[in-house]
Amino acid sequence: MRRIDDLSSFHAAREAGLAKLMPNVPRIAVGMGTCGTGNGAEAVYHAFADQIQGRGLGYKLVRTGCFGACSEEPLVNVRLPGKPLVVLHRVQASDVTAILDDIAAGRIPAELALCKIEEWDHITSHVQYGCDYREIPLWNEIPFFQGQKKLVLRHCGLISPLDIEEYIAVGGYEALYKVLIDSDPERVIEQIKLAKLRGRGGAGYLTGLKWEMMRKAQSGQKYLICNADEGDPGAYMNRNEIESDPHSLIEGMTIGGFVTGATEGILYVRAEYPLAVHRLQQAIEQAEGCGLLGENILGRGFSFKLSMVEGAGAFVCGEETALIRSLEGKAGRPTPRPPYPAQKGLYGKPTNINNVETWYNVAPIVIRGANWFQETGSAKSPGTKVFSLVGKVQRTGLVEMPLGTPLKTFVYDVGGGVAPGRSVKSVQTGGPSGGCIPQDMFDTPVDYETLAQLGSIMGSGGMVVMDEDNCMVDVARFFVEFTHSESCGKCVPCRSGLDQSLRILNKFTRGQATEADLVTLDEISRMIRDMSLCGLGQTAPNPVLTTIRHFRNEFEDHLRAKRCRAGVCEDLALSPCENSCPLHMNIPRFLELLKEDRTEDAFLSVILDNPLPASTGRVCQHPCDNRCRRAGVDDAVNMRDVHRFIADSAFADDALYARAMARLLAVRKAATGKKVAIIGAGPTGLACAYYLSLLGHEAVIYESNAAAGGMLRYALPDYRLPKDTLDREIGIIEGAGVKFVFNTVVGRDVMLNDLAGEYDAVFLSIGTWKESWVYLPGTELTGVIPALPFLEAVAKQQPVTVGRKVTVIGGGNAAIDSARTALRLGAEVTILYRRERKDMPAIPEETEAAEAEGAKIVFLAAPHRIVGDAEGRVKAIEAVKTRLGEYDSSGRRRPVPTGEVIRFACDTVVLAVGETVDLDFVKASGLKLQESGTMLEVDRYSLETSRKNFYAGGDLITGASNVSNAMGYGKKAARNIDQRLMAEKRWSQLWPDFEYAQSAPHHPSESGRHHVREVDAAVRAKTFHEATLGLTPVEAMEETCRCLRCDVRNGD
């Protein structure tokens, strides 16, 4: 290439570049960063090359870097002359023929189009591509790019990284030219200072100040270093920047060299980035060939040598003093500062080190000025920052956002949130030296100061999103394991302190930690932070300290309950399904026993884990489905319906049932002489009493109604749970020895204090029978009824009058139950829900069933008022249409009223907006309430209330929940009460040994998931007979075979 040493040769290069960038033939650019190549871009490129040549098309084909949308790779840019640039996504080699056919016909393959670019601000110049393709969204109209500002990534994915002329065409090297012609280094440094450009490597030190120090340092030899030793797990912004746009880095450093008086520049790139190394090397050679680097740059008499050194892969070499030692050929161990590199750096000479991204900001500031730069970002942290957004979000990739953008924008708007049905738990920023920020702090603006306040750091810009499947203790352990293995070993706090931290964290994940360990871990982490020699040690405890601060509950779960809610810590769970089950049922065991055709054993296994198997088999919220690993193959195993099948089979075979019950009673422990009173015969109370009875205690349930079952009997409609099925199950509980006292209201017929004298312990388990009332004009009208009393009256077969047109307000199970019940009573039903379908708390199958039966659901409609007629009867309901606004603390988008009012004529309104517990009797007995005043306060682990030997569980402590959660509390309470009464741990003695196969299938079975059969909607909607039919024996057997047996442990 020709040397560029004056304006005319510079312009000639630019013209040549523009002709390549916007040729008068179609230009096809394949995104071939490491990310694209990893997704098959190489094959795509070759397919294009072969066909363009084979067909003699004469199109221009180039390799570019990456445009940032990693989850959409491989990306291909196509531009027809005079038209917008179109970004195609997920392009495969097999698509190439069709794409070329389209282009040949003058079309764009719209179905592959992700977005289009009509004009582009390269910051250093501006490119107009053309306007067209109305059906394709503009690049910044699609959610992933909305709000992004491409300053550092200004050229990435658009120009060829291997062609210096294309770089010059978009304004490249103009800043360098300007700086050399102006020849006023102080002014440039002043600009950088004014721009408040902060180091993008993590610490955020002001670049201008560093440069000034360097400029003032007196020495014949000064070094400039670019730190491209990007080593954080999950961070790859520097790799992409270099791979996509190496010249911007060279230009930034050359300007830096001129203004600081450095004579030599060194790029320290990690060796694991071969493509970046290769492209950078080529770019250096090109720049030298054009006279833009090396001797007498641009003919202005300035010389700057730039060389590259490949780092051997030690994480600590990202620390500047260690990096310098590494460059000197010594072991990469940090040295204390002072002396600072600007005084005594590489080979003892003044040295300035900046991160890759910092250098990318130099040319734009030179061209557009400090004021322009300050327009973006926050006051203290102007400009943008590139983040690698990875983890559980739906859209991952490189995201360049103004500093100060709230965290939730990254997670929800750019990343699209987590997969449906999951919830975000936290974001880890700054890599292994960063911290975890909990979901309720997502309003946090992402800048240097705020992140530091939360105990995290900006770091190089890693951003890992975690959901409920991530165990925060394990996350802390993972990062400490990383820093532990990357610690250089020089200073004691980091070397030995991290070793002890890791030992303690391992104890946590194995369930062996003690309370003292948590204290020691916190203490030692603070010491490492305060005492370590370099940044690695000083920040290594951040993941631990922030998780202890924001997720202390999880640490306590691991040590007190030996539980890992996320199911990550394998030693603490049998399998993901067992871990997610509130009752901790041994699901793989009953599946395997049924598979081995041992129904009696399977039934015994089920009722030992859960005394209401047929009910929960019908109405459980089945959290196990969300965790089943089989979902990675096709769909989750239908565990709920298999255990319903087992229960139904046993109830249908009296002999089998009798044998199983005899075996159950054989497990029952000898009478202990201890007595426990249980208040409430709902699922919680039943479960607690059942286990206490099996443990040999006398369990007596006090119930205000005339029969047991609670919500199962009085709130669940018959078509979901037939009462005779429930009766059979209560038979199991009675069979286990539980006694009932019906028609007795505690607080009226019998006093809590009296019970305290008579019993060794009391367990409170009252349901949420009190309907929350919403403030809505018109609720006083005749025809407005709360959901629970409505369902209860129907269940008790009391006369109920609903009108012809019923509107139900709410989106939970009670709303759906009310709607389906009203349908069966002959009404026309509309459900109003203020959020979207995916936000509904109701079981999705129930919602679908309701719709199939004819219920109409109106989403995004918030009730506004109920309109009455002259007699005070409901006539209509008005709702305000809502639209989705900002994300709230639950991770759902807040409904915002639009002002548009819709009206539905109706004669009945069912309010199903939530239920609470009637706490009057509790207040009278002096038990402590939670701060909200609506629930009882208990110890999280023992379930004991503020009064000794008084325990509580279920709705009373959680608010309205579901059957399995409620039973889980009952089971847990029984275990704790027993331990207190007997002063020893007897729980595990309840379970007999079941012998069954302990091997995982070699291949997943072929059968897909069997869904439970439903009665035809038109038929079932007319009766209260059960609406679902359960699995057939063959289907149940096939389901058991689908289990992957995550519970099987190989070896030790």
Partner 1 sequence: MPNMISLRIDGELVRVEEGHTIFQAAEAAGKQIPGLCQMKGLSPVGACRLCVVELAGVNRLLPSCTTPAQEGMSVTTQSARIKSYRRMIVELLLAERNHICAVCVSNNHCELQALAMKLGVTHVRYTYAYRSFPVDTSHPRFVLDHNRCIVCTRCVRVCAEMEGAHVWDVMGRGVGSRLVCELNRSWGQASSCTGCGKCVQVCPTGALAEKGCAVEEMIKRGQSISRLAETRGGVL
Of the candidate residues 317, 437, 488, 912, the single one contacting partner 1 (CB under 8 A):
488
Site size toward partner 1, by CB under 8 A:
32
Nearest distance in Å: CB 538, partner 1? 9
Nearest distance in Å: CB 862, partner 1? 50
Q: How does 600-634 read in b/e, with b if 16+ C-beta sit within 10 Å? A: bbbbbbbbbbbbbbbbbbbbbbbbbbbbbbbeeee
Side-chain half-sphere CA neighbours of 360 within 13 A:
30
Which is nearer to partner 1, 520 or 934 (by Cβ)?
Answer: 520
Of the candidate residues 263, 281, 520, 744, the single one contacting partner 1 (CB under 8 A):
520
Segment interacting with partner 1 (CB under 8 A) among 113-121, 238-246, 523-531, 802-810: 523-531
Hey, what are 818's tokens? 């009310």
Nearest distance in Å: CB 330, partner 1? 9
Nearest distance in Å: CB 485, partner 1? 6
Residues in 298-317 that interact with partner 1 by CB under 8 A = 314, 316
Nearest distance in Å: CB 317, partner 1? 11
Binding mask 329-348 for partner 1 (x = CB under 8 A): --x-x-xx-x----------
Which is nearer to partner 1, 318 or 611 (by Cβ)?
Answer: 318
Segment interacting with partner 1 (CB under 8 A) among 521-529, 559-567, 657-665, 1017-1025: 521-529
Segment interacting with partner 1 (CB under 8 A) among 237-245, 493-501, 938-946, 1011-1019: 493-501
Which is nearer to partner 1, 315 or 651 (by Cβ)?
Answer: 315
Nearest distance in Å: CB 193, partner 1? 24
Of the candidate residues 81, 301, 348, 489, the single one contacting partner 1 (CB under 8 A):
489
Q: Using an 8 Å Cβ cutoff, are 544 and 480 in contact?
A: yes
Nearest distance in Å: CB 323, partner 1? 15
Of the candidate residues 6, 50, 499, 727, the single one contacting partner 1 (CB under 8 A):
499
d(CA 862, CA 139): 34
Nearest distance in Å: CB 392, partner 1? 30
H/E element, 902: strand 893-905
Cis omega (within 30 of 0) for bond into 382: no
Which is nearer to partner 1, 140 or 335 (by Cβ)?
Answer: 335
Which is nearer to partner 1, 463 or 545 (by Cβ)?
Answer: 545
Binding of residue 496 to partner 1 (CB under 8 A): yes
Cis omega (within 30 of 0) for bond into 74: yes
Which is nearer to partner 1, 333 or 618 (by Cβ)?
Answer: 333
Which is nearer to partner 1, 335 or 744 (by Cβ)?
Answer: 335
Which is nearer to partner 1, 516 or 1018 (by Cβ)?
Answer: 516
Q: Using an 8 Å Cβ cutoff, are 542 and 457 in contact?
A: yes
Nearest distance in Å: CB 336, partner 1? 4
d(CA 499, CA 504): 9
Of the candidate residues 282, 374, 376, 500, the single one contacting partner 1 (CB under 8 A):
500
Residue type, 737: G
Which is nearer to partner 1, 30 or 488 (by Cβ)?
Answer: 488
Nearest distance in Å: CB 499, partner 1? 5
Angle made by CA atoms 219, 222, 227, in degrees to the nearest 5: 155
CA distances from 692 to 159, 687, 735, 970 (A): 72, 9, 13, 10
Binding mask 549-588 for partner 1 (x = CB under 8 A): ----------------------------------------
Segment interacting with partner 1 (CB under 8 A) among 220-228, 328-336, 347-355, 815-823: 328-336
Of the candidate residues 490, 565, 644, 875, the single one contacting partner 1 (CB under 8 A):
490
Segment interacting with partner 1 (CB under 8 A) among 170-178, 227-235, 239-247, 499-507: 499-507
What sign for the dihedral angle of Cα 70, 73, 79, 85? negative
Binding of residue 523 to partner 1 (CB under 8 A): yes
Which is nearer to partner 1, 113 or 531 (by Cβ)?
Answer: 531
For residue 832, what are the β-bridge partners? 809, 858
Segment interacting with partner 1 (CB under 8 A) among 216-224, 519-527, 679-687, 891-899: 519-527
Nearest distance in Å: CB 335, partner 1? 7
Beta strands in 392-521 (DSSP E): 397-402, 424-429, 435-438, 462-467
CA distances from 947 to 763, 920, 944 (A): 11, 17, 7
Helix (H, G, I), strand (E, B) or coil at 52: helix
Nearest distance in Å: CB 266, partner 1? 23
Nearest distance in Å: CB 321, partner 1? 11
Binding mask 434-473 for partner 1 (x = CB under 8 A): ----------------------------------------
Which among 214, 188, 197, 196 is positioned nearest to 366, based on CA atoms?
188
What sign for the dihedral angle of Cα 901, 907, 910, 911? positive
Nearest distance in Å: CB 84, partner 1? 52
Residue type, 37: T
* Long-range contacts, 327-334 (Cβ 8 Å, 24+): 327/225, 327/266, 327/268, 331/488, 332/488, 333/488, 333/489, 333/490, 334/488, 334/490, 334/533, 334/534, 334/535, 334/536
Nearest distance in Å: CB 222, partner 1? 23
Q: How many residues does the chain have?
A: 1052
Binding of residue 512 to partner 1 (CB under 8 A): no
Q: Using an 8 Å Cβ cutoff, are 112 and 75 in contact?
A: no
Residues in 530-549 that interact with partner 1 by CB under 8 A = 530-533
Binding of residue 492 to partner 1 (CB under 8 A): yes
Which is nearer to partner 1, 399 or 473 (by Cβ)?
Answer: 473
The residue written with tokens 């991160």 in the block is: 355
d(CA 346, CA 179): 26
Which is nearer to partner 1, 229 or 718 (by Cβ)?
Answer: 229
Task: Give burial (CB, 10 Å; 0-12/13-18/19+) of 338.
Answer: exposed
CA distances from 323 to 57, 330, 431 (A): 50, 10, 19
Residues in 468-487 that interact with partner 1 by CB under 8 A = 484-487
Which is nearer to partner 1, 498 or 661 (by Cβ)?
Answer: 498
Which is nearer to partner 1, 487 or 908 (by Cβ)?
Answer: 487
Nearest distance in Å: CB 738, partner 1? 47
Q: Could you tell me whether strands 302-311 and 294-297 are parallel, antiparallel, or unpaired per DSSP bridges?
A: antiparallel
DSSP symbols for 222-267: -EEEEEE----TT--HHHHHHHH-HHHHHHHHHHHHHHHT-SEEEE
Nearest distance in Å: CB 503, partner 1? 5
d(CA 590, CA 499): 42
Which among 882, 909, 737 is positioned nearest to 815, based on CA atoms?
909
Binding of residue 515 to partner 1 (CB under 8 A): no
Nearest distance in Å: CB 197, partner 1? 25
Residues in 1010-1039 that interact with partner 1 by CB under 8 A = none
The residue written with tokens 């005070």 in the block is: 872
d(CA 1040, CA 1034): 10
- Footprint on this chain of partner 1 (rule: CB under 8 A): 314, 316, 331, 333, 335-336, 338, 484-493, 495-500, 503, 520, 523-524, 527, 530-533
